[in-house]
Amino acid sequence: MRRSGSTRPTGRTRRTRRRVTAVAVCAAALAAWRAVPAQAHGPDPQAPPHWSLKDTGAPDVRFRGLAAVSRDTAWLAGTRGTVLRTTDGGGSWRNVSPPGAAELQFRDIEAFDARRAVVLAIGEGEASRVYRTDDGGATWTESFRNTDARAFFDCLTFFDARHGLAMSDPVDGRFRILSTRDGGRSWTVLPDTGMPPALEGEAGFAASGQCLVSAGPKDVWLATGGAARARVLHSADRGRTWTVTGTSVPGGDPARGVFALAFRDRVHGLAVGGDFRPDRTSPDAAARTSDGGRTWRPAGTSPPAYRSGVAWLPHSRTAALAVGPTGTSLTTDAGRTWRTVDTGSYDTVDCASGHGCWAAGERGRAARLEH
């Protein structure tokens, strides 16, 4: 027990100071990160963090699904029914695609470790499917196939290794939610009585696997666009009842809205999006919340263009990355301001709880954040 009034640091205090110092150093390095080509670099301990491209050997695939497990292990999911996995930091990639899936569009993947993962295929009717593997992709089990022609599934998320949700665009005027309690081995459609009505034209964007995200054991958020307002829905009971809030991200067009969300805890979240058409501008394409999504405030300085993916950096309360076809934006003040730090094209970004951050996108692009 430490004496009352003692100013001598305990071991815990010293460890805490070292951690705070390490985070401060990382944040300082991030703040100094300049726009550099998204290509592989030789190791340089003095270099600021940057994306280092990893050759996936799949230049004809666009990867919008990404699950970062660690600095060594990551999963990718994309077009042509493709799933890749690395366990050596991107030095090599193994094609572990489910058999017979070449016609499917995988847009989201959630991985629990190097062996267990759940992947979502998107599309109308039976094109929307869920597969699960327990052996690193050597074998897959199809655990859900949509049979409702009105449904179109976009994203999935997991609270833990057993409990998860998947979401579809509105059916009969309300977003449809699937629930699993066995790690994605089986799925049940939840009642829609606790779901607010959707707006005319409202839907989710299957752009990065981040239109449905969770934090903690029960909280989940759903991002929307395509309607008069871009909104975020929140559930505190694993998807049974929902509240809805408008955001500052522009709507009013089928191509505009919130494309991705990231929450570092139950209250602090980021939203990014804009207009995905390359010939359109995307003002006010980022927003932030500090009350669990009850209110959203626009960024003082938004990314200069549409962003489809966003992720908080590990062990930081203020730093996050947002990616899109025109580059990567960085915030070091919890979403108040953003600036472009890389011009490479990426669709999605994800960070593991350790120090592994990955990005992926068109033409087989995959990269790891290097320090």
Per-residue pLDDT of the chain (371 residues; tens, 9 = 90+): 323 333 333 443 444 444 433 444 344 444 434 333 333 333 444 456 799 999 999 999 999 999 999 999 999 999 999 999 999 999 999 999 999 999 999 999 999 999 999 999 999 999 999 999 999 999 999 999 999 999 999 999 999 999 999 999 999 999 999 999 999 999 999 999 999 999 999 999 999 999 999 999 999 999 999 999 999 999 999 999 999 999 999 999 999 999 999 999 999 999 999 999 999 999 999 999 999 999 999 999 999 999 999 999 998 999 999 999 999 999 999 999 999 999 999 999 999 987 799 999 999 999 999 97
- The residues, ordered by sequence, that sit 6+ positions from 137 with a Cβ below 8 Å of its Cβ are 83, 85, 94, 96, 97, 117
- The pairs formed by 58-61 with CB atoms below 8 angstroms and a separation of 24 or more are 58/82, 58/84, 58/93, 58/95, 58/364, 59/363, 59/364, 60/363, 60/364, 61/363, 61/364
- The residues, ordered by sequence, that sit 6+ positions from 64 with a Cβ below 8 Å of its Cβ are 77, 78, 106, 107, 108, 206, 207, 208, 209, 308, 347, 348, 360, 361
| Distance of alpha carbon 321 from alpha carbon 61, whole angstroms | 23
Q: Report CA Rg, the chain.
A: 20
Task: For Cα atoms 25, 27, 31, give the angle at the middle one, nearest 5 degrees.
Answer: 115
DSSP string, 221-290: EEE-BSSSS-EEEEESSTTSS-EEEE-SS--SSTTEEEEEEEESSSS-EEEEEEE-STTS--TT-EEEES
Residue 132 CB-half CA count within 13 A: 17
